[in-house]
Amino acid sequence: MSRQYYIAGNWKMHKTRAEAAELAKALVDGLKDGKHKYLAAPGFTLLETVAALVKGSNIRLGAQNMAAEEQGAHTGEVSVLQLKDLGVETVILGHSERRHIYKEDDGLINKKVRLALKQGLEVILCVGETLEEREAGKAEAVCETQTVKGLEGVSAAELSKIVIAYEPVWAIGTGKTATPEDADAIHAYVRGVIGKLYGAEAAGKIIIQYGGSVKPENAAQLMAKENIDGALVGGAALKADTFVPIAKFS
């Protein structure tokens, strides 16, 4: 089963519009002959700027989050309709920072997933365990719960618009890195969970990205693993000279 590699850059809470424009131009230029699927996910205030620059290129526009309601009295939130209006095609949901810092639970994340799909967006659903959970032997159980609950009510037809990103929380900014073997083992396990929910064919087709200290130095080793189909890149996505080599790994 051949799956297309998918490399996404999560810019998190960085960049002004001028800085974002500079990075977007460099990525469009650097990736124009790239063979894989690419995504840039800038902050909300940068989406319009970046949208204009990636339009017509091979880079998709993503958002890092969205509200669980379509519109209404939700001060400080950003709606799926507003994102679509700017040309956003994909939304990252359930990122570990949303789960752990902003206390988003599986129910809220699932509500967002279903709303994004209803509005025709593609979703990158993030799952992953903390260091405590891994050390307690719960890594697989945590990833299974987050996957099952995140996909509740999602039909087999809608699953084609879902990408899973495995991000071990303990490997983000801690100096600890998941080995390609560690990562592949969880990817294989999550693929099995998709198989139980949707069948073997769906499990073979779903793209599972790895996120957690992906760098130009380790990208090729990670991508060489059977169940790793791409990367959700954080820090290294903030500069073209680190993101482009990851995106064009060989």
Residue with tokens 């993503």: 62
What span, in angstroms and rounded, lies between the C-alpha atoms of 221 and 208? 15
Residue 36 annotated in active site:
no
Q: Can you list the alpha helix ranges (DSSP code H) found in the chain?
A: 17-31, 47-54, 80-85, 96-100, 106-118, 131-135, 139-150, 180-198, 200-205, 219-223, 240-247
- As to burial, measured by CB atoms within 10 angstroms (0-12 exposed, 13-18 middle, 19+ buried), residue 32 is exposed
In this structure, is the dihedral angle defined by the CA atoms of residues 208, 203, 98 and 22, taken in order, positive or negative?
positive
Q: What angle do CA 39, 159, 201 make, to 5 degrees?
A: 110
- As to burial, measured by CB atoms within 10 angstroms (0-12 exposed, 13-18 middle, 19+ buried), residue 118 is exposed
Go through the chain and tell me how many residues it has. Answer: 250
- The C-alpha R_g of the chain, in whole angstroms, comes to 17
Active site residue: 104, 129, 133, 167, which one?
A: 167
Residue 187 annotated in active site:
no
Active site residue: 36, 95, 104, 129, which one?
A: 95
What span, in angstroms and rounded, lies between the C-alpha atoms of 82 and 75? 14
Q: Which residues are catalytic?
A: 95, 167
